[in-house]
Amino acid sequence: MVAHQAATPLHQGHDEDSAKRRQIVKGARAVFLELGFDGASMGEIARAAGVSKGTLYVYFADKNSLFCETIEQESVAQGMLAFDFTVARDVETTLKAFGAAYIQALCNPRGASAIRTVMAIAERMPEIGQRYYERVIANSLGRFVSYLELQVQAGTLVIDDCNLAAGQFTKLCQATLFLPFIFQMTDSPSPERIADVVDSATRMFLAAYRPSATTPVMPD
C-alpha cells in the first residue's frame, strides 16, 4: 500500500513565511535600537532573530532593505498609516481627530527614534530617506489628500490644490510641537497641548477652505 501524505493547507506556507519575516524584523528592531544602523551587522541581527544568516538573506537582500522594513513597521505600529477617514463624519471632527492622531504618532518616543535614525543616514544613503518618505509620509498624506478631494466634490470644502492644503494642515498641527520634540528640547506634548494646537489648526484651515455662508450675486 502506498502511504498518502497529509495535504498541507494552501495558506500554511504563506503564514509561516509571514511569521518568519515578523520574527526577523522584531530581532532587527532590537539590534538597530541598541547599536544604531552603522553598528548593526547582519550577523548580530540573525542572532537576535534566532535565524541563520542564510535565512536572513532569503527574506532581505541587505541591511538597507531590512532597516527600511523595520522603520516602516514601526511607523505602522505607531499609527502613521492607520487613521480611518470616515467620509460620513463631519469635516471638523475628522480634522481634529486626524490632527491629534498624526501628532501623537510623530511625537511618540518610539516613532521619533525611527525618524531621527532615518534623518541621520538619509544624506549619505538617500534611497533610505526616499523610501521612508514615499511609504510612510507620502502614503499617510496621500490618504488625507484623497479625503479632502472627496469633500471638495461634495461641496463641503473649496480647495484648488488638495496636496498643498494637506501639507498646510499637517504643518499647522506640528506648530510648536514637533520640532522642539524631535530635537529633544521638550518631552512628548500632553494630549491637552496637542488638542489646543490641533483645534487652532482646524479653525485656521476651515477659515481658509470652508465655503462662505453667502454666495456673491453676479450683477445682471
Let me know if residue 220 belongs to a domain: no
Domain C-terminal end among 60, 84, 111: 60
First to last CA, the chain: 96
The CATH number assigned to the domain holding 31 equals 1.10.10.60
Calpha distance 159→210 (Å, rounded): 8
pTM value?
0.75
Domain that holds residue 43: 19-60
Look up the CATH number of the domain holding residue 197. 1.10.357.10
215 falls within a domain = no
Alpha carbon of 77 to those of 37, 64, 120, 172: distances in Å?
20, 20, 21, 24
**59-94 per-position pLDDT tens digit:** 999 998 898 888 877 776 665 656 878 888 999 999
Distance CA 98, CA 103 (A): 9
* 113 in the same domain as 29: no
Instruction: Specify the DSSP class assigned to residue 185.
Output: S
Place of cell 534623518: 119
Sequence-distant (6+) residues with CB within 8 A of 29 are 70, 73, 74
- 83 touches 101 (CB < 8 A): yes
Residue 193 corresponds to which amino acid?
R
- Verify that 179 and 155 share a domain, yes or no: yes
pLDDT tens-digit readout, 10-69: 434 456 678 899 999 999 988 988 888 888 999 999 999 999 999 999 999 999 889 888
The domain total for the chain is: 2
C-alpha cell recorded at residue 90: 463631519
Per-residue model confidence as pLDDT tens digits over 167-185: 999 999 999 999 999 999 9
Residue 69 maps to a domain: no
- Tens of pLDDT, residue by residue over 84-136, are 788 889 999 999 999 999 999 889 887 787 788 888 888 888 988 888 888 88
